Amino acid sequence: MAAGVLATFVPHARRRRQRRDEAWAAARSAIEAATIRRDACATAVPEADDLLARAEAIAAEGGGADSAEHAGRDARRAGRLWREAVGE
């Protein structure tokens, strides 16, 4: 019975860990890209600043894949706002 539980649990745990790691890699990439866009933008965009700050706070707290996806969404939205501000 224990072997059956392990045979089910181990692959599930591995997939969950992989999903979390991939989500955090994407979130960190989005935060980095948004930071670069912020630095390249001469115009102040308060909403984008707030979104990036929230994404960075979520990243600092860590968490699972859902937290990473939320941080990534916020960072990508901030990057879009800065792109719009410079006319891209």
Stretch 33-44: mean pLDDT, rounded?
94
Tracing tokens 């859902």 back to the chain, one arrives at 66
Q: What's this model's pTM, rounded to 2 decimal places?
A: 0.85
Tell me the chain's radius of gyration from C-alpha atoms: 17
Neighbours of 48 (CB within 10 A): 25
pLDDT recorded at residue 5? 65
CA distance 27 to 10: 26
- Roughly what angle, to the nearest 10 degrees, separates helices 65-86 and 2-40? 20
Task: Please say if the pLDDT value at position 75 is more than 90.
Answer: yes
- Which band of pLDDT confidence, cut at 50, 70 and 90, is reported for residue 11? confident
**What average pLDDT does the chain have?**
91
Stretch 52-72: mean pLDDT, rounded?
96
Longest dimension (CA), the chain: 63
pLDDT recorded at residue 12? 74
